[in-house]
C-alpha cells in the first residue's frame, strides 16, 4: 500500500524537477565567476551582471524592448478594450468574423505571421524601426487583451449598463462610470499579457528589427550564435524575475476577476 502511494508521488516529483531545473540552472550560472560556461560554477560573483550593466549595447536593447513593450501595452489595451466591448454587442455573423480576425494570431504559426509582416513592412519602410516593432507586436498582443476583457465582460450584469442609460447617462458616461470599473481587472490582466508578449517576442523581431531596432531577445539570440558566455544567463535571470513578477500580478488579478 505504501509503495502504491510513494511511487506516484516520486514520479510527479521527478517531472516537477524536470520543469524547474533549467530555470534554476540558468539562475545559478548567472552568478558564476568563471569566464566560460561551466556547471557547477567554480565560484560565485556578480561579474556577468556588471558586464551587462556596463555594456551600452545591452542597455540600449533593454530600453528599446521596454519602450516598445510599453507602447504596445497602450495601443493594444486601448484598441483591444474598445473592440471587446463593441464586439460583444455586434450581430452574430459579424461577431464571428471579427473574433476570427482578432484571435487568429493565436493559431497562425508565428513564423507565418513573421514573414508576412516582414514582406509588407519592408515595402512600407518599417523594417529596422521601433514603429514597425510596435505595430507588429500589437497584432500579436491584441488577442490576449480581447480574450481577457471578454472574460470580464461575460461576468457582469448587462442590466447595470441599461439602468445607467435609462437614468439618463450618455453611452460614453456609462462606459467610463459603469462598464470600465467593472472590467478593470480583465483590462489590467490583458495589459500585462500584452507587455510580456512584446517583451519576450523573438521570431518577428528576427525579421523586422534590422540593425536599427535590436530588441533584448534579438540581442540575446545574436550573442548566442557567437558565444555562450554567462552574460546571457545574467540577462535571462533578470528577464525571468521581471516576467514572473508581472505574471504573478496577472495571476492574482485574474483570481480577483474570477471571484
- Of 58-97, which residues contact another protein (CB under 8 A)? 79-80, 82-83, 85-90, 94
Is residue 207 close enough to count as binding another protein by CB under 8 A?
Answer: yes
CB of 237 to another protein, least distance (A): 9
CA distance 141 to 103: 10
Could you tell me how many residues of this chain bind another protein (CB under 8 A)?
Answer: 82
Q: Is 61 helix (H, G, I), strand (E, B) or coil?
A: helix
Which of 46, 111, 163, 252 touches another protein by CB under 8 A? 111
Q: Of the two residues 40 and 45, which places its CB atom closer to another protein in the complex?
A: 40
| Candidates 12-20, 41-49, 59-67, 177-185; binding stretch for another protein (CB under 8 A) | 12-20
233: contact with another protein by CB under 8 A: yes
Considering the rule CB under 8 A, would residue 7 count as an interface residue with another protein?
Answer: no
- 25 touching another protein, by CB under 8 A: yes
Q: Pick the closer one to another protein by CB: 171 or 212.
A: 171
560565485: which residue's cell? Answer: 44
Q: How far is the CB of 203 from another protein (least distance, A)?
A: 6
68-97 exposure pattern, b = at least 16 Cβ within 10 A, e = fewer: bbebbbebbbebbbebbbebeeeeeeeeee
* Closer residue to another protein, CB minimum distance, 49 or 217: 217
- Exactly one of 64, 68, 117, 214 binds another protein (CB under 8 A); which one? 117
Within 10 A of 102 (CB to CB), how many other CB atoms are there?
Answer: 21
Query: Among the candidate windows 50-58, 61-69, 176-184, 244-252, which touches another protein by CB under 8 A?
Result: 244-252
217 binds another protein (CB under 8 A): yes
The H helix count followed by the E strand count for the chain is 12, 0
Site for another protein in 139-158 (CB under 8 A): 139, 142, 146-147, 151
- Segment near another protein (CB under 8 A), from 37-45, 53-61, 66-74, 177-185? 37-45
- Phi, psi torsion values for 32, nearest 5 degrees: -70, 150
Query: Can residue 101 be called a binding residue for another protein (CB under 8 A)?
Result: yes
Q: Give the burial class of 131: count Cβ atoms within 10 A of its Cβ; 0-12 exposed, 13-18 middle, 19 or more buried.
A: middle
- Choice from 6, 12, 46, 59 touching another protein (CB under 8 A): 12
Place of cell 534579438: 218
Count Cβ atoms within 10 A of the Cβ of residue 184 and give its class: 0-12 exposed, 13-18 middle, 19 or more buried.
middle
Rounded Cα distance between 21 and 5, Å, is 24
Query: Does the footprint of another protein cover residue 183 (CB under 8 A)?
Result: no
Alpha-carbon distances of 155 from 158, 160, 192, 225, 232, rounded to whole Å: 9, 12, 20, 48, 43
Amino acid at each position: 500500500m505504501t509503495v502504491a502511494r510513494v511511487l506516484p508521488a516520486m514520479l510527479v516529483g521527478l517531472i516537477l524537477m524536470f520543469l524547474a531545473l533549467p530555470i534554476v540552472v540558468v539562475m545559478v550560472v548567472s552568478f558564476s565567476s568563471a569566464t566560460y560556461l561551466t556547471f557547477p560554477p567554480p565560484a560565485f560573483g556578480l561579474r556577468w551582471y556588471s558586464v551587462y550593466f556596463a555594456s551600452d549595447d545591452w542597455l540600449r536593447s533593454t530600453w528599446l524592448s521596454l519602450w516598445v513593450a510599453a507602447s504596445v501595452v497602450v495601443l493594444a489595451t486601448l484598441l483591444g478594450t474598445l473592440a471587446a466591448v463593441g464586439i460583444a454587442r455586434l450581430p452574430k455573423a459579424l461577431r464571428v468574423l471579427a473574433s476570427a480576425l482578432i484571435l487568429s494570431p493565436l493559431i497562425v504559426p508565428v513564423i507565418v505571421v513573421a514573414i508576412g509582416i516582414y514582406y509588407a513592412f519592408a515595402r512600407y519602410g518599417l523594417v529596422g524601426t521601433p514603429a514597425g516593432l510596435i505595430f507588429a507586436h500589437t497584432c500579436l498582443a491584441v488577442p490576449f487583451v480581447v480574450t481577457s476583457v471578454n472574460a470580464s465582460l461575460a461576468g457582469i450584469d448587462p442590466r447595470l449598463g441599461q439602468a445607467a442609460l435609462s437614468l439618463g447617462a450618455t453611452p460614453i458616461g456609462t462606459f467610463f462610470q459603469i462598464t470600465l470599473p467593472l472590467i478593470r481587472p480583465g483590462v489590467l490582466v490583458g495589459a500585462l499579457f500584452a507587455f510580456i508578449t512584446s517583451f519576450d517576442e523573438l521570431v518577428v523581431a528576427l525579421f523586422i528589427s534590422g540593425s536599427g531596432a535590436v530588441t533584448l531577445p534579438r540581442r540575446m539570440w545574436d550573442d548566442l550564435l557567437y558565444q555562450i558566455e554567462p552574460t546571457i544567463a545574467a540577462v535571462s535571470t533578470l528577464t525571468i524575475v521581471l516576467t514572473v513578477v508581472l505574471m504573478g500580478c496577472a495571476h492574482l488579478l485574474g483570481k480577483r476577476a474570477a471571484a
